[in-house]
Amino acid sequence: MVNIVKSTEYCDILKQVKIQDGENVYAIEEIYVKALKRIEVRFAWYKINENGALRYIKNALDLEKESLFELLKMSIEAGIFAKEQFHALSK
């Protein structure tokens, strides 16, 4: 059985790694898109609102290289990506 981190009308978040920078939270997520019936990877940006809840921002994810590398490393550890997928990029 799959543990769902969060479910919305659009998708189920199956796995998620995130880092926080002030009121911004950057994430890599493995999601199941309900309408398409397939699993995708989403690079996401959230803002922390005044209640402390995360609000999804539908814009491009812009972040420093170091933060991206940290997220990618975490995504491998969480099983969103496999090490072999990154090794294939260098060939």
User: Is 1 part of a structural domain of the chain?
Assistant: no
Domain membership flag for residue 40: yes
Confidence of residue 86 (pLDDT cuts 50, 70, 90): confident
Model pLDDT, residue 90 = 80
Domains in the chain, number: 1
Structural domain for 69, as ranges? 6-89
pLDDT in tens, 14-64: 999 999 999 999 999 999 999 999 999 999 999 999 999 999 999 999 999
> Is the model's pLDDT at 1 over the cut of 70?
no
Whole-model pTM?
0.88
> Does 62 map to a domain?
yes
Q: Using CA atoms, how far apart are residues 63 and 90, in angstroms rounded to an integer?
A: 23
Burial of 80 from C-beta contacts in 10 A (0-12 / 13-18 / 19+): buried
